[in-house]
Amino acid sequence: MQTVGMIAEFNPFHTGHAYALAQARKLAQADVVVVVMSGNYVQRGEPAIFDKWVRAQAALQHGADIVVELPVTGAVQAADQFAEAGVTALAAMGVNTLAFGTEHPEVAYADLAEKLATAALTGDGFRDYTQTYATQLNAVYAKAAGITQTDPNFMLGLSYAKANLALKRPMTLLPFARRGIGHDEVGIQANIASASTVREYLRADQSVKAIVPTELVDFYAKQQQYSWAQFFPWLKYRLQTAELNELRLVATMAEGLEYRFTQKIDDAQDMTAFLKQVKSKRYTYARLRRLALAITLNMTATAVNQARQHPQLHVLGFTPTGRQYLNSVKHDLDWPLLTKVSADMLAPDGVLAMTHRADRLITTIGGVEQNYGRRPLM
Instruction: Give the interface with a copy of itself as residue ranges (CB under 8 A).
Output: 233-234, 236-238, 240-244, 246, 266, 296-298, 300, 348, 357, 360-361, 363-364
> Shortest approach of a copy of itself to residue 256 CB, angstroms?
14
Smaller CB separation from a copy of itself, 214 or 245: 245
CB atoms near residue 284 (< 10 Å): 15
Smaller CB separation from a copy of itself, 133 or 234: 234
Smaller CB separation from a copy of itself, 241 or 309: 241
- What's the rounded Cα separation, in Å, for the pair 371 and 128? 43
> Shortest approach of a copy of itself to residue 357 CB, angstroms?
5
Smaller CB separation from a copy of itself, 29 or 245: 245
Smaller CB separation from a copy of itself, 166 or 343: 343
> Shortest approach of a copy of itself to residue 272 CB, angstroms?
18
Q: SS3 breakdown of the chain: % helix, strand, coil, rounded to 5?
A: 50, 15, 40
Contacts of 269 (CB under 8 A, 6+ apart): none
> Shortest approach of a copy of itself to residue 54 CB, angstroms?
21
What DSSP string runs through 237-274? HHHHHS-HHHHTTBTT--TTHHHHHHHHSTT--SHHHH
> Shortest approach of a copy of itself to residue 237 CB, angstroms?
5
Handedness of CA 126, 131, 136, 142 (dihedral sign): negative
Smaller CB separation from a copy of itself, 193 or 361: 361
> Shortest approach of a copy of itself to residue 299 CB, angstroms?
9
Smaller CB separation from a copy of itself, 302 or 328: 302
**Helix, strand, or coil (residue 4):** strand
The 8 Å CB, 24+ separation contacts for 342-348 are 342/372, 342/373, 343/372, 345/371, 346/371, 346/372
> Shortest approach of a copy of itself to residue 345 CB, angstroms?
15
For 266, counting Cβ atoms within 10 Å of its Cβ (0-12 exposed, 13-18 middle, 19+ buried), the class is: exposed
> Shortest approach of a copy of itself to residue 242 CB, angstroms?
6
- What's the rounded Cα separation, in Å, for the pair 316 and 339? 8
What are the φ and ψ backbone dihedral angles of 305, each rounded to 5 degrees? -65, -45
Which of 36, 54, 29 shows the shortest CA–CA distance to 377? Answer: 54
Judge whether 235 and 292 are in contact, CB under 8 Å.
yes
Judge whether 263 and 221 are in contact, CB under 8 Å.
no
Smaller CB separation from a copy of itself, 267 or 332: 267
